Structure 1
Amino acid sequence: MRSFELLGKRWNGLIMAALMQQTAHFAALRRSIPGISERMLSDRLTELGEAGLLVREVDPGPPRRVSYRLTQAGEALRPALQELRSWAKKYLFDDGDAARADGEPAHCC
């Protein structure tokens, strides 16, 4: 499924989550996603833009700054991403030995 191929790529979910909070400049996005390189962020932003999920806007300068915001299609993902966040809070744990809410091991398969 194309949606999982796109959103399942490393960093794309974090980028979308950051932009769900607010429009952001490139540098602010980089600071909000620890470990991502400038090149990777640029590549992922281009990919998400080509998919129609975000828009790149050049702010008038000086200094010239680039900001990113979600499109209507990107905003439409908000309920799905909120459901994933709720699911993760309930079933995923930071501690690998934690049990799920239903008593099953967190890492069973």
Structure 2
Amino acid sequence: MHSTLIVARMNPKEFGHVADLFRKFDETEMPHLMGTRRRQLFHYQGLYFHLQDFDYLGSTADRARIQRARKDPRFIRISDDLKPYIQAYDPATWRSPADAMATRFYQWVGAS
């Protein structure tokens, strides 16, 4: 499994709107098409954290699946719909969600 964590800015009063947008998006087949297994949204003192777990993003086919999904009208729509609520953490350097992804520097997994 592969995880990504996007960090941005969000007015805490808007978390209900953002959750509703993702709820509608996640009720479609889009998460499956992207390989998303789990999505979690967090907010803390004006910050927004979007944690996504994927089946795996190690192969060229996996990365191609994400690239195809980004061109899907539903993906484009949710990206546009989120714009009033989510602002780039650093607008000067933001070009895509990849510019807002946190880098994991430690991981521990317990025994099953």
Relative to the length of structure 1, the TM-score reads 0.29
Give the structure with the higher percent strand.
Answer: 2
- Structure whose alpha-carbon radius of gyration is higher: 1
Structure-2-length-normalised TM-score: 0.28
Relative contact order higher in (CA < 8 Å, ≥ 6 apart): 2
Structure with more helix by fraction: 1
